[in-house]
Chain A
């Protein structure tokens, strides 16, 4: 498999598209125009549509642009945060448009240039944005071929498109390039009948491994993140923060801060900020702000949260139902009841939320680390009372998101301060602020009552999930009598959660997969059946079965009953349209309770895999990151006071934790591509818990599986 390097794949940094002066470029993207072409690199086309739509546009011009030199620019409202779409989207476009992949440049996350997009989350880029972009490219190819047919005076059926060149099959000298067709012209043409996307068998780029297209920029320090943008006269803001969530400002004395030379205090309502051109001086001024607060906090902390959630008066709904639970009870020979729990988790991207905002001629531009540039734009329009055409959000490279940058409060703060001060203002959250204002993965509790017959066939599955939502809560197994009930369907709200919560990589699927797969393991053990075999016996889902077999083969799995003293566990699940199975081997120190994961094998069926190397990297990343929620991550808090404010107390995975990771991607080229940024993280908690059980007979129901909790579980085995 040929591996391409950065030099083979071009990239234009978002915000500086095509090297064209920004003002000129604004005029390029006209509504209703088909393809716009750039005479001598700069074009004058009608003004950008004022109001952004709320679905992806039908006009393919919004997705792509071919210039006079044949370079193709691909526009997407999606952003690059490490998941690798800056590499995989050009592969998809190249195959639909029939141009070399190195001729494609990306412009991402710019609300003035890119088609509206809800945001980059849920592993949706490939499976939802991808088809729209491919359809746009296919239509553009069709239009260009029609134009070539007219120019070359041969029917379309006699033409072949390769590498952006349209050739008469019968007379190969009779040919024209995309660039020749489009040079300096504005052409308005759509196809009445939309062409279908290319057959996968014709793909040249899709399905091949490509290295990160942005790697060279990132290893040289040239890659620009929001905090790296510099504007003349810009100042840094440090903002007065409450000591805890729920605290309200009673009074503030800003006189101390004003004594710092060059510092300027800005106050609007409860927003109090100090601005200084020097970051360290802004920090000094902030330390001299004095404030009094009134407190109003919920009586819950990290120790009592499970109990608190079970007691919370919350709405419930039946999310799934099959057969009759009473019948299932009667058919069951053995009944199993378990309770699982999961704490609040922080996202902790290494880049904290950062934004730079500047007002120029009445227009606000905000560069922000944001997973939803258009969402941030909407918030700015609303909160600053500005019209939509006067607000632009640009998202440069994002230093990790994981769901945490769906909310971009820092962008609003920077926008407000820029408007109030008249200066370009950078709001770069400290690590402390990043922890405090995170939208945490919500804590949750899951209760399962399940039953099986003498043969080890599951007959009953009564699943109750509290505040962990229903993503990943499907029964998965072939159970005739099953019900899933979800409590706290309004995601808790302030009466339950003492602070903001949100999506955390494969939101809630981690919690639900943990509970289900440990429960299945409990039943397999009680049935005296090998846990892989037990799953296969109770599954009808062919993709899941294939994934389990594939991972067993990759791992070199030897069947055996659990606990077998080997420290091997299995777990599986589905997320983002992808099926995933994992087998892990652990070593447990029975004296200290410390667990070391030695090896994880992972198989994944994600339909057509666009970039196998990129996918493998995501699988490795998911497995590594998942070890954090499995072993250490648990937010310490007391009411609204977040106690973990840094990496000294909140531990995320480190080099020494690394297991050997083996991956296998099932070959499914004829099936629609699915999500790849999240699935492999969902089984990690369960696969480790099950492996600990296999090693020791101790069962872990609560994450993270700290040494203390492992020791506690071990004590129960010895009794």
Chain B
């Protein structure tokens, strides 16, 4: 059954008519045109589809869109403000922390969620927090460095 639901998407109030059992991933990609959030496995194992829901990193491929009613959703497209990259995005560029780039949006959203919870993570905490996001190209080492750099920048208020 389709119904109109309302939530905040990348800072804007959004209302859509949707079957609430559909997964958030496909609603974002197809109905809302936000293709930065990627399908990787459809079962929550790889993390490419990670978005923030009320500042919490969540896998959108297994989440019914009905669960986001009244919540704040941030996708990779919503991180940069007025064309200025978010510190995590900036750090990924600075450290060349990507190769094919397909897991990158999920990595960045997961790292952003991690830093919201823990602004000063140790390397071990970054590893633990990023562990279930998969990258096949092997950009891991640089991703860890990027998260450290982003943490410093966010704390410095730059």
* A-B interaction: yes
Please state if A220 and B36 are interface contacts (CB–CB under 8 Å): yes
User: Is B98 in contact with A219, judged by CB distance below 8 angstroms?
Assistant: yes
In the complex, what's the smallest C-beta–C-beta distance from B116 to chain A, in angstroms? 18
Find chain A residues with CB under 8 A from B46 CB. 350, 431, 647
The distance in angstroms between the C-alpha atoms of A621 and B98, with both chains bound, is 10
Determine whether B134 belongs to the interface, using a CB cutoff of 8 Å to chain A.
Answer: yes
Interfacial residues of chain B within 27-80, with CB under 8 A of chain A in the complex: 29-30, 33-43, 45-46, 48, 75-77, 79-80
Q: Does B11 contact A (CB under 8 A)?
A: no
> Which residues of B, 125-148, contact A by the 8 Å Cβ criterion?
126-128, 130-144
Q: In residues 219-247 of chain A, which contact B (Cβ within 8 Å)? A: 219-225, 227-228, 230
Nearest B residue to A618, CB-CB: B99
Nearest opposing residue in chain B for A277, CB measure:
B30
Q: Are A402 and B85 also in contact (CB < 8 A) when A215-B98, A647-B45, A658-B127 are?
A: no
By the criterion CB–CB under 8 Å, are A219 and B104 in contact?
yes
Task: Tell me, yes or no, whether B17 is within 8 Å of chain A by CB.
Answer: no
Residue A623 is within 8 A (CB to CB) of chain B in the complex: yes
Asked if A399 and B100 make an inter-chain contact with CB atoms under 8 angstroms apart, the answer reads yes
A387 at interface (Cβ–Cβ under 8 A)?
no
Give chain B residues whose Cβ lies under 8 Å from the Cβ of A661: 141
Q: Which residues of A contact B137 (CB under 8 A)?
A: 82, 400, 621, 625
Assess the B99–A351 pair: CB atoms within 8 A. Answer: no
Question: Residue A83 at the B interface, CB < 8 A?
Answer: yes
Q: Are A221 and B142 in contact (CB under 8 A)?
A: no
A555 is an interface residue with CB less than 8 A from chain B:
no
> Smallest distance from the beta carbon of A610 to chain B beta carbons, Å?
15
Q: Is the CB of A350 within 8 A of B80?
A: no
Contacts of A227 in B (CB 8 A): 29, 35, 38-39
A495 to B103 Cα, complex, angstroms: 37
Chain B positions within 8 Å of A6 at CB level:
93
User: Please, which residue of chain A has its CB at the minimum distance from the CB of B45?
Assistant: A647
Contact status B142-A620, CB under 8 Å: yes
* A82, B100: Cβ atoms closer than 8 Å: yes
A613 at the interface (CB under 8 A from B): yes
Quick one: closest B residue to A219, CB to CB? Answer: B89
Bound CA span A430–B34, Å? 19
Residue in chain B with minimal CB distance to A6: B93
Q: Are A219 and B139 in contact (CB under 8 A)?
A: no
CA of A625 to CA of B132, assembled, Å? 16
The answer for the CA separation of A218 and B22 in the assembled complex, in Å, is: 27
B96 close to chain A: CB less than 8 A = yes
A residues near B26, Cβ cutoff 8 Å: 278-280
Q: Does B108 contact A (CB under 8 A)?
A: yes
B45: chain A residues at CB < 8 Å are 431, 646-648
Given contacts A647-B45, A658-B141, contact A221 B40 (CB under 8 A): no
Given contacts A350-B46, A431-B42, A654-B131, contact A221 B105 (CB under 8 A): yes
**Complex Cα spacing A653 to B139, Å:** 11
Which label, helix, strand, loop or mixed, suits the secondary structure of the A interface? loop
Chain A residues within an 8 Å CB radius of B128: 656
Say whether, besides A431-B41, A431-B42, A622 and B36 are in contact (CB < 8 Å): no
Whether, in the assembled complex, B7 has its beta carbon less than 8 Å from a beta carbon of chain A, the answer is: no
Partner of B43, one of A280, A621, A646, A656: A646
Partner of A215, one of B96, B133, B135: B96
B120 within 8 A of A: no
A222 CB contacts on chain B under 8 angstroms: 36
Q: Say yes or no for A348: interface residue by CB 8 A criterion.
A: yes
In-complex Cβ contact of B131 among A278, A428, A655 (8 A) = A655
Q: Mark B85-109, 1 if CB is under 8 A from A, else 0.
A: 1000100111010111111110010
Q: Is the CB of B131 within 8 A of A624?
A: no
Answer whether A400 and B136 are a contact pair too, CB < 8 Å, given A221-B34, A223-B101, A620-B141. yes
In the complex, are the beta carbons of A212 and B104 less than 8 A apart?
A: no
CB distance from A226 to the nearest CB of B (A): 11
Please state if B42 and A624 are interface contacts (CB–CB under 8 Å).
Answer: no
Does A350 contact B134, Cβ atoms closer than 8 Å?
A: yes
Residues facing B in A184-233 (CB within 8 A) are 211-212, 214-225, 227-228, 230
- In the complex, number of A-B residue pairs with CB atoms less than 8 Å apart: 180
Our pick among A211, A221, A228, A656 for the contact of B127 (Cβ within 8 Å) is A656
Asked if A397 CB lies within 8 Å of chain B CBs, one says yes
Residue among B22, B92, B104, B142 facing the most chain A CB atoms (10 A cut-off): B104
Distance of A19 Cα from B43 Cα, bound (Å): 38
Shortest Cβ distance from A210 into B: residue: B96
User: Which of A220, A224, A428 gathers most chain B CB within 10 Å?
Assistant: A220
A393 within 8 A of B: no
By a CB distance below 8 angstroms, the chain B residues around A646 are 41, 43, 45
Q: With the chains together, A431 CA to B136 CA distance in Å? A: 14
User: In residues 5-30 of chain B, which contact A (Cβ within 8 Å)?
Assistant: 19, 21-23, 26, 29-30
Residues of B within 8 A of A84 (CB): 99
Chain A residue contacts of B93, Cβ below 8 A: 5-6, 211-212, 215-216, 219
- Which residue of B77, B98, B108, B131 contacts A212 across the interface (Cβ within 8 Å)? B98
**Residue in A5, A348, A349 whose CB lies within 8 Å of B100:** A349
Given the interface pairs A6-B93, A219-B104, A280-B26, the reply to whether A625 lies near B138 with Cβ below 8 Å is yes
Question: Is the CB of A45 closer than 8 A to any CB of chain B?
Answer: no
Q: Is the CB of B77 within 8 A of A220?
A: yes
Complex contacts, A399 vs chain B, CB 8 Å: 38, 100-103
- Who on chain A is nearest to B46 by CB? A647
User: Is A617 interfacial (CB 8 A cutoff)?
Assistant: yes
- CB nearest to A220 among chain B residues: B80
Q: A212-B98, A216-B93 are in contact. Are A655 and B130 (CB under 8 A)?
A: yes
Q: Which of A635-653 contact B (CB under 8 A)?
A: 646-648, 652-653
* A448 sits at the interface (CB 8 A): no
**CB closest chain-B residue, reference A221:** B36
Instruction: Return the contact of B37 from the options A214, A220, A221 (Cβ within 8 A).
Output: A221
Are the CB atoms of A653 and B36 closer together than 8 Å?
no
A658 x B140 contact (CB < 8 A): yes
B92 lies within 8 A of A228 (CB): no
Q: How far is the CB of B102 from chain A (nearest CB, A)?
A: 3
Closest chain-B Cβ to A286's Cβ sits at a distance in Å of: 13
A350 to B140, CA, bound (A): 14
Q: How far is the CA of A428 from the CA of B102 in the complex (A)?
A: 14
Query: Does A398 reach chain B (CB closer than 8 Å)?
Result: yes
11 A-B residue contacts at CB 8 Å? Answer: A84-B99, A220-B79, A221-B37, A223-B101, A230-B33, A348-B136, A352-B39, A621-B137, A655-B130, A655-B133, A661-B141
Q: Which A positions have Cβ atoms within 8 angstroms of B?
A: 5-6, 81-84, 211-212, 214-225, 227-228, 230, 278-280, 347-352, 397-402, 428, 430-431, 613, 617, 620-625, 646-648, 652-656, 658, 661
Going nearest first, the 7 A-B pairs with the smallest beta carbon separation are: A221-B36, A399-B102, A82-B100, A624-B138, A218-B101, A82-B99, A621-B138
Known pairs A399-B38, A399-B103. 20 more at Cβ < 8 A?
Answer: A220-B85, A220-B89, A221-B34, A225-B102, A230-B33, A278-B26, A278-B30, A280-B23, A350-B38, A350-B134, A351-B38, A352-B40, A431-B43, A621-B99, A623-B138, A625-B136, A648-B45, A654-B131, A655-B133, A655-B140
